[in-house]
Amino acid sequence: MIVIKQPASPTRGAWPLSPTAEAPGQARRLVRGALADCGWPFTTVVDRAVLVISELVTNAVLHGRAPITLELDILAMKVCGRVLDASLREPDRVKVSDDGESGRGLMIVDRESDQWWIEMMPDGSGKAVCWEIRHPPSNVPSISYLLQGVPGQGFGPSVPVIEAASESTTGVFTGWRP
């Protein structure tokens, strides 16, 4: 029997970051460590999350205002995060020349996350830049589609069956079906 390990319940973390050049590195270590601690098995998602968080924290340090906070939610099939700062100014997408040294952060966030958005704090204390990365990515068929196959386009004479796989439960490989 093969068990697909999933967190038993959502895992949350929140960390204050100093508005210094060291904050992006600290954020990368925190995200990588949090995902490793809960046994997140999808290394491509870890790498994408670390890259997204690095870009957003860098933007908060360069263009936002203290305090800066990193929040992370780890679910069974997705990782979500927010970078909060006290600035009310929304991030700008700028036109970047081929030899420009900066301005690509939001392009990277857009490419690496499945979705991202900005939330203004209701009390006017700042904003949060939020992101989500799913596994499998949103542009890839769902795991149930891949594992159960498509009529007439299955995986040969039998396909694997996964029972009880959802964001809050553990999926267990229970055998093959014809």
CA distance 127 to 15: 16
Q: What pTM, to 2 d.p., does this model score?
A: 0.70
Banded pLDDT at 110 (limits 50, 70, 90): confident
Question: DSSP 3-state assignment of 81?
Answer: strand
Beta strand segments in 43-156, E: 68-74, 78-85, 115-120, 127-134
Please write the tens of the pLDDT for every residue from 149-173. 444 444 433 333 334 344 444 443 3
Q: Please provide the CATH number assigned to the domain covering 3-134.
A: 3.30.565.10
**Whether the Cβ atoms of residue 83 and residue 63 lie closer than 8 Å to each other:** no
pLDDT at 102: 59
Q: Where in the chain are the domains? A: 3-134, 143-177
Banded pLDDT at 43 (limits 50, 70, 90): confident
94-100-101 Cα angle (round to 5): 100
